Structure 1
Amino acid sequence: MIKLIDQNFKEHASVLPSTCNIMQVLTEDGLTYIDSGLKVDTFNVIHIHDGEGLTAESLKTAVSFYENRLRESCIWISEEQLNENVKNIFETLSIKESGVNKGFWAKIENLQEGTNEAIKIVEERQDIIDNAFVVANNWEPFDVNVLHYYNHVHPEILKKTHTIMFNYYQEGQVVGVIELFISLADTKVAGIYNLSVMKENRKQGIGEALVKQAIAYAKNNGVETIVTQASEDSENIFRKVGFTEEGKILEYV
């Protein structure tokens, strides 16, 4: 199942940039990398999806692409792909682990679902910017690049063909958000991303309500399996609604 989690991550990272004329999706042996056009590593992702096929030259090419443009980047790889070949390449290039997310998955019939009148699907450009504002607050300091990224790709999001965003409103303000990504390769599979709640609004059940709303939407649209990567802050929410932990996705710089 970690392969499915990793595949959905790769698709999610690539689809929106591939529709934007100032961004690029590039490939080398064993990896795909995203040029968001932004300086920070938030969306400049090198995704290693074939540990056996990866070469030091291909990874160095990807890393140099960002360095030559004075941009930061990060590397993501599932623990399944982190074999001796990859470890040796990382050591040669002095690449170090910087973070980890746990993978989760579930068959949709085993998940708790629900709807909440406070949650709305984004319908306009401003809804997307409001969504991005909450996501950007996950970083310290606030990451304005998140707003720039979603402003660039908003026309594709508004089509709601594969990326569906939800906003949780409280007293007219967006205080929580979530994103559902339905796979292009297999529309029976979806991933949950960017579950975020403003710090001052946490511990109110908003995150759980957003997850249940995304599950309900996915179920109504023929999805059978949902995957996600959870941070330490959100993993208990996914366990509570019925997800099972499966492997890890590792970040390197």
Structure 2
Amino acid sequence: MINKKEAILENMIQTFERLSGNSPYTTFSRDDNCARMESALPLTIFNRVFHYNAHDYDKLNAIRQMQTIIDSYRERGATCVWHTYSHTQDEVVNETLKANGFLFGGTMSGMAVNLKEKAINQANGSGLKIVIVQSDEEFERFKRVFVAEYSLPDELAKRFTQAFALDPEGRMQYYLAYSDDEPAGTAMTFRTGEVTGLYMVATLKEFRARGIGGAIVGQALHDMQAAGATLAVLQASSMGQTIYRKHGFEEELTINLFVSQNM
């Protein structure tokens, strides 16, 4: 049986490892006790510690290693987001983050839904069309929709979206929703064995409250199931949880986000 908590974290880590490999501005490093990414871009989405396990070290060595990691972000002036998880709390980690000026920045919910024999709701509203991105033209539309809420300068947006690239292996898929032929929403999925993660679910402000987000989720879940996935996972903000719960997702863990200050 798949451990849902481990599946949520592993899919997230592998997803960002793949995205990092697409970007010339981002590096990803991983060993048995740490998984993290660093970027030359001033974006917290790409400057993160996803996993750190202090249990393999005595307290002093764990603090020293964490300090080395923190200093690597500080030396570049990058704001770092460090993840901790409700089921693997470690006082050494919490104390070291506090000592280095990290502040609690909120939470996300690690959620999962079993896809075995699940009836998927694919109800689409009038004028709504959802496609899997396959052409360069569609991919450019996907990027424009996804970054619209970030209000990034054009050059930074261009560098940011280089991390998103069509996957010849088919493990990563991009979805683009059209409302009356206007690009309106996005989603991305990434497959790791029987587990598929859902990411980048976004709807442009002018198209919200029309059921577009829910429709994209339904389409993605249908495709995951058809491809043989038995578990769908995601990380949700409080705003997105309502949509996901309607599709059967349940919270399995809490992701705590600690943000560096004055780095």
Q: TM-score under structure 1 normalisation?
A: 0.87
Matches within 5 A, 1:118-157: 118-139=129-150, 141-142=151-152, 145=156, 147-154=158-165, 157=166
1:76 is aligned, of 67, 78, 83, to 83
2:106 is aligned, of 99, 102, 105, to 99
The CA deviation at 1:7 is 1.4
- CA distance in 2: counterparts of 1:135 and 1:114, whole angstroms: 22
Structure 1 residues 148, 125: closer, same or farther in 2, change over 3 A? farther
Which ranges of structure 1 fall in alignment gaps of 5 or more residues?
A: none
The structure whose RCO (Cα within 8 Å, separation 6+) is larger is 2
Counterpart of 1:63 in structure 2 is 70
Matches within 5 A, 1:29-40: 30-40=33-43
Give me the identity figure in percent: 21
The CA deviation at 1:195 is 0.7
Residue 221, structure 1, aligned to residue 220, structure 2: no
Which ranges of structure 2 fall in alignment gaps of 5 or more residues?
A: none
Structure 1 residues 136, 153: closer, same or farther in 2, change over 3 A? closer
Could you report, residue by residue, the CA deviation over 1:133-168 in whole angstroms, capped at 9, with x for unpaired residues? 3222344x44764542322542xx242522111000
The CA deviation at 1:218 is 0.5
Contact 1:41 1:73 in 2 (8 A): yes
- CA distance in 2: counterparts of 1:51 and 1:226, whole angstroms: 29
Contact 1:103 1:229 in 2 (8 A): yes
Residue 165, structure 1, aligned to residue 204, structure 2: no
Residue 9, structure 1, aligned to residue 12, structure 2: yes
Q: What CA RMSD, in Å, does the superposition of the two structures yield over aligned residues?
A: 2.3
Larger Rg belongs to = 2
Contact 2:22 2:162 in 1 (8 A): no
Give the match's secondary structure for 2:55: coil
Aligned length: 247
Structure 1 residues 198, 86: closer, same or farther in 2, change over 3 A? same
- CA distance in 2: counterparts of 1:88 and 1:67, whole angstroms: 18
Contact 1:104 1:245 in 2 (8 A): yes
Structure 1 residues 34, 95: closer, same or farther in 2, change over 3 A? same
